[in-house]
Every structure is written in structure tokens, then in C-alpha cells.
Chains A and B, each alone.
Chain A
Amino acid sequence: MLEIKNLHAGIDGNEILKGINLTVKKGEIHAIMGPNGSGKSTLAKVLSGHPAYEVTKGEVFYEGKNLLEMAPDERAREGVFMAFQYPIEVPGVSNAQFLRLAYNEKRKHLGEEELDPLEFKDLLKERARVVEMDASFMTRSVNEGFSGGEKKRNEILQMAVLQPKLAILDETDSGLDIDALRIVAGGVNQLHNSENAVILVTHYQRLLDYIVPQFVHVLANGRIAKEGGKELALELEQKGYDWLKSATEATVVGVPTNQR
């Protein structure tokens, strides 16, 4: 589904990603971990097409197509979704309005009939159950005045509505209390199936207790420093990230062979 080859990227002339290689297949859940400044969020932003980031080298293929040539909205309509670390507030635009527009953009793209507000309301009601959000959130402006937890739940609601093939969750666990974390993770688990894939970008192992990845990749200094199965996350939890700082080569610990 996703193939990242020797990806170099940065912002304002500073190279942050220095040769990332990663393959994600449908049905898989990958965790990208690493210390602050290792390039985790940069990777998520580059994949979603953030205009401030520049790709200087390498390739990214999504379902066989060159992802880097696609505009952010095109990527989204093709099924790539990023849950923001800091979801943006959009004053004056109601959540329901926004979600219906986004949903219909995708329907149009797929050559399907658009839903009118009433039809969409039913769909939204059903999808909102995934993140236990009540109707009052739908009439409020997108993320405006939402608490940190509500914003993150709203991101997962958008994921539930848009049903992406590839979901990238950028530090979705940050700033969440344990109840919100449980709801958000529960939502992601409900949405994950054998036809889609999830990339979890996270600093902490805690999220991985709820959403269990098959693969864990540890970033340090713009490269993947270590890769492994879910047990690698536990190891990091115990040892911290410091021991990785000198690492430059990826070492493979107990990764299933279908990855290489």
C-alpha cells in the first residue's frame, strides 16, 4: 500500500528526514516511535503533503502511484488520512457542514451520489458512536472551544466518516487522559480492518497498549534506528531513547520476514 524509499525531507532548508525506508501493507498497523526531534512528525506531515516541508530526495508510492506528486486534497480523496497532533480550529464552519462537504468530495471522486444533509445526518449519527460523540458536537464550529481530548476524538470521527485506506495518526495520544485515550484507541481499533492500514506516530508506549502494532520503527536523527515487533516498544519504555542516540544503522529484532 505504501512504499517509502530513501526519503529525505526538511523545512526551511534544514534536513530532518535523512533516508527513511518503510513499507506498509494493507491490514497492518505500524508504530513510528522516537525521541523528540527525531523526525516522526515530519514524516507524518510529508506524507500528508504539508506545503512547508520539502522533499529533497527519495520516493513515496501509495497504491503504486507517486504520492509526492499529489496535492494534499488529492491524497485525501485517494484514501490517505492524517489525524493532526494539534487539530486546527475552523471558526464559523460547523462540524456537520465540514464533515458532509469532505464526505461528499470523496463520494464525487468515487463517482457516487452525494448525500443531502438529512441522509448525511443519519450516517454521521452512526459513525459518531465510534468515538462516543454526541450530537451537540455536530452543530459547533470545527474544533472551536473543544478540549484537547474532544479535538482528538473529532479527528477519529473524521476518520470514521472518511474511512481512509491509510490512516496516519500523529501523536494522537498526546494530551489525552486515560478515558479519552481509551475512547480514541477504541475508535481506531473499530475502524481498522484487513483492507486498511494504520501508522501510529507516538512518543510513548502507552498508546500501544490499546492499539497493538505488528511493527515498531524507532526513529533517531532522521533515520530508522531500530525496528521490531510490539515488544520493541516495551523495551523502549524501560530503557528510554538515550541508548539509541548513537545508533545509525537499523537493526532488525524479530521482525516477520514479509517485511523485507
Chain B
Amino acid sequence: MMVTETARQENSYLEAFRTLQASDHDSSDSWLVRVRENAMATFAELGFPSVKDEEWKYTNIAPIARTNFTPLIATETSGRSSEAEDFANFSVVEGKDSQLVFVNGKLRNDLSRLTGLPEEVVALDLSEALADARYSEIARTHLARHADYITNGFTALNTAFVHHGAFVYIPKGVTVKVPLHLLLISNSSDTSEVTFPRLLVIAEENSSATLIESYVGTAEATYFTNAVVEIVLADGARLEHYKVQRESAGAFHVATTAADLGANSSYDATTITFGAQLSRHDINVTMDHEGAECWVDGLYLVTASQHTDTHSVIDHRKPHCTSHQLYKGILDGKSRAVFNGKIFVRHDAQKTDAMQTNKNLLLSNEARVDTKPQLEILADDVKCAHGAAVGQIDEDELFYLSTRGIHYDLARNLLTYGFAEEVIGKIKLDSIRAQLDEAVLHRLHARLEA
């Protein structure tokens, strides 16, 4: 049964794949056609992962594998004039003049604005960048080189459909003060559509920027977002990266973020997960040059029957690199969360400083979390620590707040907020922080302002 379904599913992908390849057949970009061909061959071989695979042990993606998703590869999508208004809420104030808006996988120039960015900064659709002589070489140098599609079926599938997405290029020495917001909206009412967003961000030497990557769903349809983000930081580059996942309640979201850090570069990632019925995020940071520093932090808030899975790999390959990781989870209802964080300290990576923490707050007796921090150290002169915790609301704290007249539900939310604050507090963008304050204080238990 499963085999038949998977086979049919793969055939439907294959059909769309052939259409996509044919559309690019006449273009000179045989390189892209070849990459896709390889990726599709890999996907055909790997298929979707199953729970027998150690990396997918606690996350059963069978609902994705057995749904007959239609890849959205059309180059044209019709937009309604009212959409700009509908989507206004999803913009962030700080990035309103520096946003690329994608609707159902397709870049919408009518909704995007880049007037706030310095002139030298490039932000455009990936397919355009690949076709543009000014950027095609650098895009090819990095595209599909950082996110591994040889062992990960989802990354292979995304790579087989590489087409739309964002190409962001920050030249040497440029400091971008406003955050660049990549806003990916799904609003199709047709069920079972899949998009393959692909984001490539290249920050040259000593540049500095802030990136917001947000996923929003407005329809209740069951759709699937399969995203891959590649980030390349040259020596001394600095990038602050916020990912905010607020897909619809029925959605599937599987994404990989792969970041390669140059010498003395700094990558500060914060991933906020609210949405989707099933989500999986792989974040892989490679430190193959001395003196790099990264923060790989996150907050997941799930309820009802949501399932969220974070797998991270922080790979210390060279000396004097520092990594900080703090993931916090808040689970209500019958939700489930998985955290698997691996830190590798390779033989050469002396003077590594690595710190990893995963803490979870269970708000219901039926919620469940599987957490597994892992350290693998091959160097001998390093400073590493890791830990994981799962707890509940502290009854003494709850009583204390109630003796000050604070209603029970509000007191619980306040304590939940207090738990999340460690992650929320580090967010430097006021609008995102305010959004989270609101979400944490008001989302988990509805009755507050009664």
C-alpha cells in the first residue's frame, strides 16, 4: 500500500519536474538543468525519509509522503488588487521598504519594495539572478553547494525544483541598516499544493545585514512548503537571521537552513515556530574558518495536535570558533516537539567554545517532547557544555502571582512568557518582539481580557 502510494506521488512530482525542465530546455542554463536532474535522481533513490531513519525517528512524515501534492511551478500567478491590503499585516515596520513578497511560491514585484536598501545590495528572484549575466556566476558558485541534497530527500526534492526564490547579495563592506524581509505567503484555497522556496544569501567580506524570513498561511488548505535556505558568510561578515514560521494550521513545513561561516564572521540565527500541523527544520552551521561565532537559537510554541521537529548541526572544524545555542519550547494540548542538536568539534578545532541548551515547558499532561542534545568532541582543548530540561509551570510561582490578584490563566501566561523571554529578549527588532509578546501572552490560553 505505502509503496504504491509513494510511487504515485513520485510520479506526480516527476510529471511537474519534466514540465519545469522543458520550460528551461531552450535557455542556455544547462547547468541548472543538470543540477535539477541530479537532484531528481537522488530523490528518486532516497525517497521520503521514514521513522526507521535515525534522523526521522520521532517525526513521521507519512502524511506528506502519501498526499498527492501538486508542485506550483507556474511562472505566472494572478494576483488580486486587494492582496496588498490583505498582506499588510504580515509586513514588519522596520522592513516595509525592504521586502520581497512571494505568494504561493512566486515573487510578486507589485507587493515588494526595495527602496529602503542601499543601491549596491541585490535582492531579486533566484531564476532572474541565474539568468542575469551579472549574478549568474556567483549564484552558480553557491547554489546547491551548501545544502546537502545527497542524503536528505526533502532537500533533494527542493533542489530538483530549483526555480523561484530569493537571491540576496550584500557586497563587500556594505552595512545594511534596515532588515531585509523575505515574506513567503501561502493563500491558495486549492488543497494539496507544494511550493519549493529556495533562498540564497551571500554576504561578502565585512558586510553586515539583518534578514527576516517569514512564512505565513492565510488559507486553511493543506499545503506543503519545502524550503531550502543557503547562507554564505565571507570573512568578517555579520548576519542576523530571523525565521518566523506561521504557516496555516493544516500546513506541512519542511525546511533546511545551511550556513557556511567565513573567518571571524558572525551568524546570529533565531527561529520562531508557531504554525503548521507538522514542521521540521534542519539548521546546519559549518564553521570551517577560524574565529567564527554563531548563535543558533529558537523558540517553538505548539498546541493542539501540532508536531514540530528541530534538528541542528553545529560543526566546529577550525580553531577558535564559538557557538551558542538556546532552544526553548512551549507545548500545550497534545502537541509534540523534537529537538536534536548535534555539536561536532573536529580534531583541528582547538579552543572551541560551544554551549547548547534546550528547555521545554509542558503546559498540558498530554504534550510530549523528545530532546537529545549531542556533543561529539575530537579536539582536546575545548570548552563545551550542553543540557536539556523538560518542566511544568512552577506552582509556587503561580501561587505568588495569584496572591497579587492576577487571574489564574493570566498568571500561567505570564509565567509562560517569563520562560520564553530568554529567547524573545534577544530579538533586536521591536516589531517581531512585540508580535511574540502578544502571541505568548495571548495565544496559549484564550481567556485573558475578559
* Chain A positions near chain B (C-beta within 8 angstroms): 48-51, 71-73, 75-77, 81-82, 84, 87-93, 97-98, 101-102, 105-106, 109, 141, 158, 162
Contact = CB atoms under 8 A, between A and B. Distances in A.
B384 interface: no
Nearest to A159: B404
B237 to A, nearest CB: 32
B421 A93 contact: yes
Given A73-B408, A158-B404, A50 B418 contact: no
A92 B396 CA distance: 16
A92 B417 contact: yes
23 contacts: A71-B402, A71-B408, A72-B403, A73-B407, A75-B403, A76-B403, A76-B404, A76-B405, A82-B403, A88-B396, A88-B397, A88-B400, A89-B397, A91-B418, A92-B425, A101-B414, A102-B404, A102-B405, A105-B406, A105-B407, A105-B410, A109-B405, A158-B404
Contacts of B399: 50-51, 72, 88
A50 B396 CA distance: 9
Nearest to A86: B396
A65 to B, nearest CB: 16
Given A93-B414, A98-B414, 5 more contacts: A71-B408, A73-B402, A88-B400, A93-B418, A102-B406
Interface in B366-397: 395-397
B427 interface: no
Contacts of A81: 403-404
- Range of interface residues on chain B? 20 to 34
A92 B420 contact: yes
Contacts of A91: 418-419, 421
B422 interface: yes
B132 to A, nearest CB: 47
Given A77-B405, A101-B410, A102-B405, A93 B417 contact: yes
A159 to B, nearest CB: 10
B450 to A, nearest CB: 9
B418 to A, nearest CB: 3
Contacts of A82: 403
B436 to A, nearest CB: 13
A106 B418 contact: no
Contact of A72 (B402, B410, B414): B402
A84 B401 CA distance: 12
A102 to B, nearest CB: 4
A90 B415 contact: yes
A168 B237 CA distance: 58
A89 to B, nearest CB: 8
A77 B399 CA distance: 14
Nearest to A77: B405
